[in-house]
C-alpha cells in the first residue's frame, strides 16, 4: 500500500492508472475509520481496479474550531485498517498541502445546502463541496463512494457532479449501525457511557416515524411531535432539529405523499449526532 502526502504525486499516480486503462475508485474520509468507512472501502475494492482512500480532516468544513481541534486523528490505526483491507493508495495530505496559501475559491451548492444541517452549521457544506471538488480534481476517479448516513451531503455531491460536469459515478451505500441501531460515527468517542446508552432513541424514533407513515399518518407535524416525544425522554439528548423533507430537493414537506426524508440532529454534551431514514410508499 502506498501512502501519499503530496498532491502532485497522487495526480501523477492517477494519470498513470488512467493511461493503463485502470478503473479508479475513491473513498474520501476524515479518518478515525470505523465499519461505516470500511463498508465503503470494501465496495470500492469490489468494483474498481484501484482503490484510493483519502484521510484528511478538512478544516474549512468545521464551523466550530474546538470541534476541529479535537476531531480524532488516529492515523496509524487508520493506516493499519487500510492495509488490512488491501487499499492500494492512501492519500493523507497535511493541511498545508491542501491549503498552501490564502484560499479564495469556494464551491457552494445553493438551496440544497441551506436546510437541515446547513441551517445549523453555516459554511459547513461549502467546506464539504469545496474539498470534494478539490479531491475529485486531484484523484480523478471513475467512481466515488459515500455513506447515506450523511444524506444531505450525498445530495449536494450528486448535484455538484452534475452541475460541474465531473465524469464520476457517485455511489451511495447504506448507513452502518451498531447493535442498538446507532449510526456509527467518528464522533462517538466523545460520548460518555451514559450518553451512549441514550443514543438508541435516535433510530428508535426514526423507526416509529416509519411505522406512523405506514399507518397512513401523513402530517409532518404529528410525526415530528412523536419523534420529539421519544427523544426528550432521554435527559442527556438535546434536539437540534427534526425535519421531514423532500428527499431530492431537501425542502420541508407540508404533507407527505409518496416519499419523505426524515432527518434529525441531536446534541449530547460533546457530540452532535445526525441520522435519517427515507420512507417510500409501497
What distance in Å separates the CA atoms of residue 253 and residue 258, rounded to the nearest whole number? 11
Other beta carbons within 10 angstroms of residue 47's beta carbon come to 14
Given the residues 34, 37, 124, 188, the one annotated as active site: 37
Which cell is 129 given? 463541496
* Contacting residue, 10, 24, 25, 36, with ligand AMP by CB under 6 A: 36
Q: Which is nearer to ligand AMP, 115 or 276 (CB)?
A: 276
* Contacting residue, 146, 166, 268, 279, with ligand AMP by CB under 6 A: 146
Which of the residues 71 through 130 are near ligand AMP (CB under 6 A)?
none
Task: Check binding of 147 to ligand AMP (CB under 6 A).
Answer: yes
Verify whether residue 142 is a known catalytic residue. Answer: no
Task: Check binding of 183 to ligand AMP (CB under 6 A).
Answer: yes
* Contacting residue, 17, 24, 25, 29, with ligand AMP by CB under 6 A: 29
Please give the DSSP secondary-structure letter assigned to residue 102.
-
Task: Check binding of 37 to ligand AMP (CB under 6 A).
Answer: yes
Query: Segment near ligand AMP (CB under 6 A), from 4-12, 30-38, 194-202, 242-250?
Result: 30-38
For strands 2-4 and 89-91, give the pairing: parallel
Which of the residues 184 through 243 are near ligand AMP (CB under 6 A)?
184-186
Q: Is 45:52 a contact under the CB 8 Å cutoff?
A: no
Q: Which is nearer to ligand AMP, 146 or 279 (CB)?
A: 146
E strands, the chain, are: 2-4, 24-29, 50-55, 89-91, 143-147, 169-173, 238-245, 259-267, 272-280
Strand order in the sheet with 272-280: 238-245, 259-267, 272-280
Can you tell me whether residue 267 is helix, strand or coil? strand
| Buried-exposed string 243-266: b where 16+ CB fall within 10 A, e elsewhere | bbbebeebeebeebeeebbbbbbb
Can you tell me whether residue 175 is helix, strand or coil? coil
Query: Segment near ligand AMP (CB under 6 A), from 28-36, 197-205, 239-247, 260-268?
Result: 28-36
Instruction: Give helix then strand counts, H and E, for the chain.
Output: 11, 9
Q: Which is nearer to ligand AMP, 13 or 40 (CB)?
A: 40
Query: Segment near ligand AMP (CB under 6 A), from 72-80, 101-109, 147-155, 242-250?
Result: 147-155
Q: Which is nearer to ligand AMP, 99 or 226 (CB)?
A: 99
Q: Which is nearer to ligand AMP, 55 or 256 (CB)?
A: 55
Q: Which residue is nearest to ligand AMP (CB)?
A: 147
Tell me which residues are annotated as active site.
37
Q: Which residues bind ligand AMP (CB under 6 A)?
A: 29-30, 36-37, 39-40, 146-147, 149-150, 175-176, 183-186
Amino acid at each position: 500500500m502506498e501512502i501519499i502526502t503530496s498532491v502532485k504525486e497522487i495526480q501523477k499516480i492517477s494519470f498513470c492508472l488512467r493511461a493503463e486503462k485502470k478503473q479508479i475508485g475513491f473513498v474520501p474520509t476524515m479518518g478515525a475509520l470505523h465499519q461505516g468507512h470500511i463498508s465503503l472501502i470494501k465496495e470500492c475494492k469490489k468494483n474498481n481496479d484501484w482503490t484510493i482512500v483519502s484521510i484528511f480532516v478538512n478544516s474549512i468544513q468545521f464551523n466550530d474550531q474546538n470541534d476541529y481541534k479535537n476531531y480524532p486523528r488516529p492515523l496509524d490505526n487508520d493506516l493499519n485498517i487500510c492495509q488490512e483491507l488491501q487499499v492500494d493508495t492512501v492519500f493523507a495530505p497535511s493541511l498545508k498541502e491542501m491549503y498552501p496559501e490564502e484560499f479564495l475559491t469556494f464551491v457552494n451548492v445553493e438551496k440544497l445546502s441551506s436546510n437541515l444541517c446547513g441551517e445549523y452549521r453555516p459554511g459547513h457544506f461549502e467546506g464539504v463541496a469545496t474539498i470534494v471538488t478539490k479531491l475529485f480534481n486531484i484523484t480523478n476517479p471513475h467512481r466515488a463512494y459515500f455513506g447515506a448516513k450523511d444524506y444531505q451531503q450525498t445530495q449536494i455531491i450528486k448535484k455538484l457532479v452534475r452541475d460541474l460536469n465531473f465524469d464520476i459515478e457517485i455511489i451511495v451505500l447504506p448507513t452502518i449501525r451498531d447493535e442498538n441501531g446507532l449510526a456509527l460515527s467518528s464522533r462517538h468517542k466523545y460520548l460518555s457511557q451514559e450518553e451512549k446508552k441514550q443514543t438508541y432513541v435516535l433510530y428508535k424514533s426514526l423507526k416509529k416515524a416509519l411505522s406512523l407513515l405506514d399507518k397512513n399518518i401523513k402530517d409532518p407535524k404529528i410525526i415530528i411531535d412523536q419523534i420529539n416525544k421519544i427523544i426528550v425522554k432521554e435527559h442527556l439528548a438535546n434536539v437540534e432539529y427534526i425535519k421531514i423533507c423532500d428527499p431530492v430537493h431537501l425542502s420541508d414537506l407540508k404533507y407527505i405523499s409518496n416519499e419523505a426524508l426524515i432527518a434529525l440532529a441531536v446534541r449530547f454534551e460533546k457530540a452532535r449526532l445526525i441520522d435519517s431514514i427515507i420512507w417510500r410508499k409501497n
